[in-house]
Amino acid sequence: MTTSQHSFKYENLWHTLVEDKVSFGSLQNNEVADVCIIGAGFTGLSAAIHLAEHGKSVVLLEAQHIAYGGSGRNVGLVNAGTWNKPDFMVDILGKEMGENLVAALGDAPKLVFSIINKYGIDAQQQEVGTLHMAHSEKGVPELQDRYEQLTRRGAPVELLTGARMEEYSGSQKIPAALLDHRAGTVNPFAYATGLAKTADKLGVKIFENSPVASVNCEKPGEWVVTALDHSVRAEKVIIATNAYAEGELSEYRKSVYSGYYYQVASEPMGDAGATVLPYKQGSWDTRLVLSSIRLDKEGRLILGSMGRAINKPDWYLKTWADRIQQHYFPQLGTKMNWQYSWCGRIGFTDNHTPKVFEPAPGLIAAIGYNGRGITTGTLIGKLFADHLTDQEMAPIPLPFFSSVDQSKCNYSQMKSLFIESGFTMYHLGQCLKVIR
**Mean pLDDT within 191-198:** 98
pLDDT, position 6? 53
pLDDT tens by residue, 89-99? 999 999 999 99
State the average pLDDT for the chain.
94
* pTM assigned to the model: 0.96
As to burial, measured by CB atoms within 10 angstroms (0-12 exposed, 13-18 middle, 19+ buried), residue 359 is middle
> Rounded to whole angstroms, what are the CA distances from 289 to 243, 250, 324?
20, 28, 12
CB neighbours of residue 103 within 10 Å: 17
pLDDT tens by residue, 339-375? 999 999 999 999 999 999 999 999 999 999 999 999 9
Q: Is the pLDDT of residue 433 over 90?
A: no
Q: Is the pLDDT of residue 377 over 80?
A: yes
What residues form DSSP beta bridges with 77? 185
pLDDT, position 94? 97
DSSP 61-123: E-SSSTT-SGGGTS--EE--S-SS-HHHHHHHH-HHHHHHHHHHHHSHHHHHHHHHHHTT---
Q: Would 379 be classed as within a structural domain? A: yes
Q: Would 54 be classed as within a structural domain? A: yes
Q: Lowest mean pLDDT: which of 125-139, 190-204, 272-286, 414-428?
A: 414-428
CB neighbours of residue 2 within 10 Å: 10
Residue 215's domain is classified under what CATH number?
3.50.50.60
Q: Is the pLDDT of residue 3 over 50?
A: no
**Mean pLDDT within 262-286:** 97
pLDDT tens by residue, 140-173? 999 999 999 999 999 999 999 999 999 999 999 9
Q: Is the pLDDT of residue 1 over 60?
A: no
CB neighbours of residue 5 within 10 Å: 10
Between residues 195 and 246, the one the model is more confident about: 195
pLDDT, position 325? 97
Q: Would 5 be classed as within a structural domain? A: no
Q: Would 343 be classed as within a structural domain? A: yes
pLDDT, position 394? 62
- Count the domains in the chain: 1
Q: Would 6 be classed as within a structural domain? A: no
pLDDT tens by residue, 294-331? 999 999 999 999 999 888 899 999 999 999 999 999 99
Q: Is the pLDDT of residue 4 over 60?
A: no
**Mean pLDDT within 82-110:** 97
Spatial separation of the C-alpha atoms in residues 212 and 247, rounded to whole Å:
8
Q: Is the pLDDT of residue 52 over 80?
A: yes
Structural domain of 77: 13-17+24-431
Q: Would 171 be classed as within a structural domain? A: yes
Q: Would 192 be classed as within a structural domain? A: yes
Q: Which amino acid is at 412?
A: S
Q: Would 326 be classed as within a structural domain? A: yes
Question: Which of the four pLDDT bands, split at 50, 70 and 90, describes residue 383?
Answer: very high
Contacts made by residues 410-418, CB under 8 angstroms, sequence distance 24+ = 411/257, 412/253, 412/254, 412/256, 412/257, 412/258, 413/257, 415/257, 416/257, 416/258, 416/259
